[in-house]
Structure 1
Amino acid sequence: TSKSQTDYWQKRLEESKGCISPADARVFAVEEDWSDGGAGNGLGTLYAWHKACAMDSKLKADLEAGKISVGLFHTAGKGTRLAPMPGSECNNKPAVKLPAVIKTKTTVYPLTILEAVIKQTGVYASSRKGRLS
């Protein structure tokens, strides 16, 4: 992901709290600024977790204490297996629009694949306290 994509998702996911994620959710969009080719799924997950912890000094302690669960969603890749849909979003696969909308306090957005995945997997959060998934 690029810096502009990171900024976009941070803003968008913050705006959709209470609709896609709980209103009190902590959202951290992080840029994978690894060398060419990226870090891959395993190392990329650890790297993203490390960067999120640097953004919130209580995150790791809250997870270890079982106060929270953490969902980490990778958005890397241009979406080749979803072709041709990602082409409509400049090969930004998490931004592919679905036939639904999100109504925030200020606007109505088309639902994206990333937001749908966050909403769908969020039902597990309360049963996974203390876990990074």
Structure 2
Amino acid sequence: HSTEVNENEPRKDCEDILARGTVNPFYSKFDFLRASTNPFIVFFLRLYSKKPRENVTKIARVAGKRWQGMSSEQRLKYVEIAMAEKRRRDRQNRRMRKRKYRRTRRFRNSSLEKSKDIKMIKRSRKQGSKEENY
């Protein structure tokens, strides 16, 4: 669709995306972080989504200090989000492997059938030439 994407602004549905377990609140510029299973990265992205125009280095420092000061109960929320993202990614990878396997199996089967057809044709030619010699 024709909506213009601004990479410096978080998505409008950022909180909803994070709540569902997908950690990427940004557009394509930050897609490589989407698959992270590191709870700190999830925490950092949440902070960064609140101030996308702020210097990333400053936010990273603040995030590091806050993360170190958090108790394990406070970190648990981000650990759960990261684990949910890991499960989602694993499911997606399994689906992709199955699709790839189906494609290659289908190709192998079709190529096997072709090779069987070729062998049958060659056999019939050989048998035809033997019959002519008699």
TM over 0.5: no
Q: Which has the higher helix share?
A: 2
Structure with bigger RCO (C-alpha 8 Å, 6+ apart): 1
Rg larger in structure: 2
Q: Which has the higher strand share?
A: 1
TM-score (norm 1): 0.25
